A and B are shown apart, each in its own frame.
Chain A
Amino acid sequence: MRATRLGAALAAALAATLTLSGCGGGEPAGTPEAARTQSQAPQGPVKLTYWTWAPNMDKVVEVWNKAHPDIQVTVSKQAGGDDAAAKFLTAAKAGNPPDLVQAEYQHLPSFVAAEAVADLKAETETVKGEFGEGVWGLVTLGTDGVYAVPQDSGPMMLFYRQDLFDEYGIEVPKTWDEYAEAARAVRKKDPKVYLGTFSSKDPGAFTGLAQQAGAQWWSISGEAWKVDIADAPTVKVADYWDGLVKEGAIDDTPYFTPEWNKALADGKLLTWPSAIWAPGTLESNAPKAEGKWAIAPMPQWNAGENHTGFWGGSSVAVAAKSPNRAAAARFATWLNTDPEAVGALVKEAAIYPAATKAQTALTEAPGYFANQPDFWQQAAQASAGARGFTFGPNVGVTYNAFRDGFDKALQDGSPFSGAVRAMHEATVADMRKSGFSLAS
């Protein structure tokens, strides 16, 4: 009997240990809490975490940490793009977001709608003048608030293989009509080569093309959202690419796939309508083509115009729940306006800065484009003609509908304009379900 009791006692002890190790988790959990309280105390340095996926951001942050022993920033490198946005929203909902987060412009409205980011209006009053109106609109969303500090921008341009253009005897297209002609000409000269490709996986690129044509997917009228994704300019863009893909003049390999990388490396793809950040991608995927690529303004819908759209670009936002909002805002403004910081961003993270002064300070072309000394002048020109629009609060839904819709259109040959309408319907249905006010 005694032995049984001993056994029971031991089993209970084991169970208790295991349970304790379960609860013991509370101990390390207390630590960040403790660190937080400590950081609020005046004596210790403020500790900030920063979620980003820009390469080499650690090196830029190092500069800040050296100069500001009282505010120490830790970089946490995340998987980029939509994953990062979803993860930040979940973290904010759960109540433990990082202090600072890299926010792509199209995701910022979702962050604001989820009340995940702080209004930095007071903190950014002094740096407002450093940014152009277009890019500033992307962080205010046309409201009185300021929800992030712009970091980089991605005006679109036409990247093309200069050497192969010469070889095939093709002129750089100035309009989309010329682009279509060139696409057909290339196919005739070499059936293995395409002038370009349409990606059903990159809603960001399509958004940029639609912006160039003058699309206005979302806008705010009074106290209601106006949604018009299947507007005339967007349908025009969709129909244009639809035609080219269907007649076989353009490929449909998605961007950033191994397949696409190979086509770039092999010289089977002659152009890429992309954003200013493209040199980094080209350099890492087709290192041997260095000096063979060149940039030109985007082909225009009407000859003589100078319009383009944006693809990508990020801002730095401060979490609404951050206990160190002032310090975080100080860091965010420093990172994106201080000449030393922006210089380091350009050099280490290879971004095209959003701050106007920093843009004009760029002189030396990226190494990969050493053959084109006027690279940055071209970029500045493109930037001047770029037009964007206010993004809506559920871009995730819209972009997902883009992928599903265009995948399906490519698969069963249905018209692209149908996919655009599906995007519109999915977006409106989701906003209606959530209860957003919609202007009809």
Chain B
Amino acid sequence: MTYSAKRRRASRRPLLAPYLFLTPAIVLFVLFLAVPIGYTAYLAMRRTRVSGLGLGGGSRREVFAGFDNFAAAITDGELWAGWLRVLGYGAIVLVVMLGLALVFALALDSARVRLARFGRIAIFLPYAVPGVAASLLWGFLYLPSLSPIRAVLDVDLLGATTVTYSMANVAVWGGTGFNMLVLYTALRAVPRDYYEAARLDGATETQIALRIKIPLLMPAIILTTVFSIIATIQVFTEPTTLRPFTNTISSTWSPLMKVYRDAFVTGDLYAAAATSIVIAAVSFVLAFGFLRVVRDRAFGEG
């Protein structure tokens, strides 16, 4: 058998294999993502119709509503106000969290750092704290009469303007470690002799960090940005948990909170379904728009 014949045979073989390997994931995707999403779309086009007092048997029917729920969701001023709030919040979180993650990753990777192991574990630790617990914990720390912070800094941390920063702080606290780890992992993958060559050329550690490490990190930075954008759009836990502590967070503070309110507090599952489809569409446009722009860099592989 000639080499080319072998090659041909080898490349002809794996026709069915990748599909079979992907079957479990695809089956799970269909069952637990596609079907529920389809069901959501179905629900979004329905509504309940009550007759009379709505107390007797059979006085409540589910009827087809067409695109009424979508129209209501899109024209709802509160929802758009929510998007604006999340935009401001997201900008703070993205910049501060990713900035800190980058600084910590570079510090960990720098030549002569001490206590690296302790630092890495400590900064990663908040990742182990459930979002609900983290918000509750910071909530306690923000409260005027309990807060040790207030003893030093005399600001109302849950006031109308400060509350956004306070919430962003919870997200930054919980998310920095994870992103730091992603970036640090990417840095460790860079062969050490890259830096040695630069050092021999007389470059300082700072110059190495700025000129070599950060450009090398770009794909990883883009990636963490995409995932952070998506997570930020979906902000829900922090404002929901902090809400009982302050009167500055309404039940529709973020778009996802409105979905939760419609579904679980005011009992309109259908409006919730329509709103959630609008949210998913906006996330889709934002995240894939960003990905489109940077796709080749983030997913470039051999």
A and B in direct contact, judged by CB atoms within 8 A: yes
B194 at the interface (CB under 8 A from A): no
Residues of A within 8 A of B144 (CB): 259
Given A8-B17, A15-B20, A82-B265, verify A113-B60 contact (CB < 8 Å). Answer: yes
Output the least CB separation between A241 and chain B (Å). Answer: 14
Whether A257 contacts B244 by the Cβ 8 Å rule is: yes
Closest Cβ of chain A: how far from B12's Cβ, in Å?
Answer: 10
- A403 within 8 A of partner (CB): yes
B60 contacts A114, C-beta separation under 8 Å: yes
Q: Does B160 contact A (CB under 8 A)?
A: yes
Contact, CB under 8 Å: A400 / B265: yes
> How far apart are B298's CB and chain A's nearest CB, in angstroms?
29
Name the distance in Å between A115's Cβ and chain B's nearest Cβ.
6
**A396 partner residues in chain B, CB cutoff 8 A:** 265-267
A124 to chain B, nearest CB (A): 17
Q: Is B57 an interface residue (CB 8 A)?
A: yes
A-B pairs with the 4 shortest C-beta distances?
A11-B20, A407-B247, A15-B23, A86-B264
Instruction: Please give, as numbers and ranges, the residues of chain A lying within 8 Å of B85 by CB-CB distance.
Output: none
Q: Given known contacts A19-B27, A22-B31, what 19 new A-B pairs fall within 8 Å (CB)? A: A7-B17, A8-B16, A8-B20, A11-B20, A12-B20, A18-B23, A18-B28, A109-B55, A112-B55, A201-B244, A254-B244, A254-B247, A258-B146, A406-B247, A411-B247, A434-B54, A435-B49, A435-B54, A437-B52
Q: Is the CB of A18 within 8 A of B55?
A: no
Interface string of B24-36 (1 = CB under 8 A from A): 1001100100000
Chain A residues with CB under 8 A of B139: 258
Closest chain-A Cβ to B274's Cβ sits at a distance in Å of: 13
**In the bound complex, CA of A4 to CA of B14 (Å):** 8
**Given A224-B53, A258-B143, A435-B49, A86 and B247 touching (CB < 8 A)?**
no
B265 touches A110 (CB 8 A): no
Interface residue? B48 (CB, 8 A) = yes
Cβ of A262 and Cβ of B247 under 8 Å apart?
Answer: no
Known A-B contacts A22-B27, A259-B145, A396-B267; the reply to A435 vs B251 at CB < 8 A is: no
Q: Are B266 and A397 in contact (CB under 8 A)?
A: yes
* A404 CB contacts on chain B under 8 angstroms: 250-252
The answer to whether B55 and A393 touch across the interface, beta carbons within 8 angstroms, is: yes
* Bound CA span A4–B146, Å: 67
**B261 on the A face (CB < 8 A):** yes
Neighbour of A434 across the interface among B50, B57, B250, CB < 8 A: B50
Q: What B residues does A437 contact at CB under 8 A? A: 51-53
Query: Interface readout for A317-355 with B: 1 if CB under 8 Å, 0 if not?
Result: 000000000000000000000000000000000000000
Contact B247 A200 (CB under 8 A): yes
* Residues of A177-204 contacting chain B, CB below 8 A: 200-201
A11 / chain B contacts, CB cutoff of 8 Å: 17, 20-21, 23
CA distance A436 to B263 in the complex (A): 19
Question: Does B269 have its Cβ within 8 Å of any Cβ on chain A?
Answer: yes
Complexed CA–CA distance, A436 and B56 (Å): 12
The A interface, classified by DSSP as helix, strand, loop or mixed, is helix
Which of B52, B57, B143, B252 is close to A223, meaning CB atoms less than 8 Å apart? B52
A141 within 8 A of B: yes
List 29 contacting pairs A-B, 8 Å CB cutoff, sorted by A: A11-B23, A15-B24, A15-B27, A19-B23, A19-B27, A22-B31, A86-B263, A110-B267, A112-B55, A113-B54, A115-B57, A145-B55, A201-B244, A254-B244, A257-B244, A258-B245, A259-B146, A259-B245, A396-B265, A400-B265, A404-B251, A407-B250, A411-B247, A430-B268, A434-B48, A434-B49, A434-B50, A436-B53, A437-B51
Q: What is the number of residues of chain B that contact chain A, defined by CB distance less than 8 Å?
A: 44
- Enumerate chain A residues within 8 angstroms of B265, measured Cβ to Cβ: 82, 86, 396-397, 400
Contacts of B49 in A (CB 8 A): 434-435
The answer to whether B24 and A258 have CB atoms under 8 Å apart is no
Which residues of A20-50 are within 8 A (CB) of B?
Answer: 22
Q: Are B27 and A18 in contact (CB under 8 A)?
A: yes
Q: Which residues of B contact A113 (CB under 8 A)?
A: 50, 54-55, 60
B217 to chain A, nearest CB (A): 36
B248 interface residue, CB < 8 Å from A? Answer: yes
A225 interfacial contact with B, CB 8 Å = yes
- B31-46 interface with A by 8 A CB criterion: 31
Confirm or deny: B13 has a beta carbon within 8 angstroms of a beta carbon on chain A. Answer: yes
Q: Considering the complex, which residues of chain B in the window 48-92 have a beta carbon less than 8 Å from any beta carbon of chain A? A: 48-57, 60
C-alpha gap A257/B243 in the complex (Å): 11
CB–CB A14/B16 < 8 A: no
**Per-residue 0/1 for B82-119: is the Cβ within 8 Å of any A Cβ (1 yes, 0 no)?**
00000000000000000000000000000000000000
A390-420 vs B, CB cutoff 8 Å, 1 = contact: the mask equals: 0001101100100110111011000000000
Would B57 and A408 count as touching, CB distance under 8 A? no
Q: B55 touching A403 by the CB < 8 A rule?
A: no
**In the complex, how many angstroms separate the beta carbon of A84 from the nearest chain B beta carbon?**
11
In the bound complex, CA of A14 to CA of B218 (Å): 38
For residue B62, which residue of chain A has the nearest CB?
A93
Chain A residues closer than 8 Å to B252, beta-carbon distance = 404
In the complex, residue of chain A having the shortest beta-carbon distance to the beta carbon of B264: A86
Determine whether the beta carbon of A14 is less than 8 Å from that of B267: no
Using an 8 Å CB-CB cutoff, how does the interface string of B232-259 with A read, 1 for contact, 0 for none? Answer: 0000000000001101111110000000
The reply to whether B267 and A394 contact each other, CB–CB distance below 8 Å, is yes
Q: Does A143 lie at the interface of the complex (its beta carbon under 8 Å from any beta carbon of B)? A: yes
**CB proximity of A376 to chain B, nearest CB, Å:** 32
Bound Cα distance from A217 to B140, whole angstroms: 36
Residue from B50, B52, B53 with most neighbouring chain A CB atoms (10 Å): B53
B130-159 interface code vs A (CB 8 A; 1 in, 0 out): 000000000110011110000000000000
Residue with the greatest number of chain A CB neighbours at <10 A, chosen from B24, B140, B249: B24
A398 and B16 CA atoms in complex are apart in Å by: 58
